[in-house]
């Protein structure tokens, strides 16, 4: 099965997350996308200290009507910090027959050399980078951090880059929706509408559980 892996704090999940996932699903012909809310993310604390189970429940509500989107509680069952390389290693054991597509944003990709064991990511999964439509160069290898460039060659068949271990680096131009979880949390605290920023089911969940009403401690 061609499986996308989409991680994040999802605090809360919003329409831009869902649109990116749908565009990657279509571009890469994925059969499913696993949404993995982070229990203990490595690069930032969870703003507002929003509990994992609330964030998972919002993801479940957001993807309930999509047959190829799946909310997963995978990360909460693993001890320690949720490093991406460890997640992929564990997923390979759980789904040994799957071909994985690891979905990240351009900002994260440009900082990937700071991630734990980052070269292994390209051995374990095809990496899908979602970027602005106006982002591009003549030679796609110029998009790579210098430390990675020599590990890839241009694959004319797929019009993408292929890693020396056979996995691909795929760039997908996303529909740019200027929506952020930080802004959504702020609007909830200010008593402003978040309609059309999140799915209606997520908005109802936030209201029901009185999320984001207190001043957050972390950005």
Q: Does residue 115 belong to any structural domain of this protein?
A: yes
Q: What is the mean pLDDT of residues 104-126?
A: 89
Range of the domain at 49: 2-178
Residue 187 counted as domain residue? no
97 lies in a domain?
Answer: yes
pLDDT in tens, 138-163: 556 666 777 777 777 776 655 578 77
Q: Can you give the CATH number for the domain in which 62 is found?
A: 3.40.50.620
Whose CA is closest to 34, among 23, 44, 21? 21
Dihedral-angle region of residue 159 (phi above 0 means left; psi in -120 to 50 means alpha; beta otherwise): left
Q: Using CA of residue 149, residue 92, residue 116, residue 219, what is the dihedral sign?
A: positive
Q: How many domains does the chain have?
A: 1
> Is residue 143, in this structure, part of any structural domain at all?
yes
Write out pLDDT tens, residues 70-98: 999 988 887 778 889 999 999 999 999 99
Residue 174 lies in a domain: yes
Of 89, 77, 81, 85, nearest to 104 (Cα)?
A: 85
Confirm whether 208 is domain-assigned.
no
> Is 217 within the bounds of a domain?
no
Instruction: Give the confidence band of 135 by pLDDT, cuts at 50, 70, 90.
Output: low
pLDDT given for residue 218 in this prediction: 45
- Residue 197 within any structural domain of the chain: no
């Amino acid at each position: 099965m061609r499986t996308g892996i989409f991680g994040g704090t999802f605090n809360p999940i919003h329409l831009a997350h869902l649109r990116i996932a749908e565009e990657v699903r279509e571009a890469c012909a994925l059969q499913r996308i696993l949404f993995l809310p982070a229990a203990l993310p490595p690069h930032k604390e969870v703003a507002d200290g929003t509990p994992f189970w609330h964030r998972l429940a919002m993801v479940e509500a957001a993807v309930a009507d999509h047959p190829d989107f799946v909310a997963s509680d995978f990360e909460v069952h693993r001890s320690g910090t949720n490093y991406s390389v460890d997640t992929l290693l564990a997923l390979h054991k759980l789904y040994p027959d799957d071909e994985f597509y690891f979905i990240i944003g351009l900002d994260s990709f440009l900082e990937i050399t700071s991630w734990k064991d980052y070269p292994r990511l390209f051995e374990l999964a095809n990496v899908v980078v979602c970027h602005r439509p106006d982002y591009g160069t003549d030679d796609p290898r110029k998009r790579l951090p210098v430390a990675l460039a020599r590990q890839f060659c241009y694959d004319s068949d797929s019009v993408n880059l292929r890693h020396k271990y056979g996995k691909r680096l795929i760039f997908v131009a996303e529909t740019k929706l200027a929506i952020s979880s930080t802004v959504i949390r702020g609007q909830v605290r200010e008593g402003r509408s978040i309609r059309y920023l999140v799915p209606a089911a997520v908005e109802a969940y936030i209201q029901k559980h009185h999320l984001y009403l207190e001043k957050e401690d972390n950005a």
